[in-house]
Amino acid sequence: MAARFVLALMLVSAVVALSDAASASKKLLHHLKQHKRQTECGDTQFRCKNNACIQYEWTCDTDDDCGDGSDELQCPTDCSGNHQFHCTNGGCQPSEYHCDGDNDCGDGSDEADCATSECDGAEVKCSNNICIERSYMCDGDDDCGNGWDEVQANCNTVSGK
C-alpha cells in the first residue's frame, strides 16, 4: 500500500513538473513572439506600446487599433492631424467620417459639399454622394442607404466583378 502511495506521489510530481515546463515554454514562446513583433514593424507602420504594429494611417483616428490606446496618445486636438476633419461648430471628427451619410459633427458640416468632394482611393462614391469602402460593393448590405452599391451593373463597373 505504501509503495502505491509513493508511486502515486511520484506520478503527481511528474505531472506538476511537466505542467510547469509547459507553462514556461508558453511564456518563452510568447516572449519570442513579442520580440519578433517588435522587430518587424514596416516603414509605413506604427509601433504600439504593446509592441504590436499597425498601419500608421490608423493613428489618431479615434479608434483604439493597438488595443492599448497608444495609437491615440499625443494626437493634435486642433484638427490639424492627417485624419481629422474640422467641423463648422469647432469640433473635430476623423476624416473617414466625412461624407459617410451620418451627421457626426452635429451641425451637418461633415456631410456638406459631398457632391464636389472626392472619396479616398479605397472608396467609391455612391449615387447619393456617400463614400463607402470599395470592398462593400455587392456584399449583400445596403451600405449607400439607397441600394446603389448592390445593383449588379454598378458592381461590375466599380469593382470589376
pLDDT in tens, 40-79: 899 889 999 999 999 888 888 777 899 999 998 988 777 7
Q: Which amino acid would we find at residue 106?
A: G
CA distances for 136 relative to 95, 128, 144, 145, angstroms? 19, 16, 9, 12
Give CA–CA dist 70/56, Å, rounded.
12
SS (H, E, C) 64-78: CCCCCCHHHCCCCCC
Instruction: Please name which of 29, 56, 31 lies closest in space to residue 41, comparing C-alpha atoms.
Output: 56
Predicted pLDDT at 2: 58
Give CA–CA dist 146/148, Å, rounded.
6
Residue 21 above 80 pLDDT?
Answer: no
Predicted pLDDT at 103: 92
Strands 53-55 and 84-86: unpaired
Predicted pLDDT at 139: 93
Structure-model confidence comparison of residues 111 and 17, the more confident one: 111
- What pTM was computed for the model? 0.47
The answer to whether residues 76 and 86 touch, using CB atoms and an 8 Å cutoff, is no
Give CA–CA dist 82/94, Å, rounded.
9
Give CA–CA dist 123/98, Å, rounded.
12
Paired with 84 in beta bridges are 94
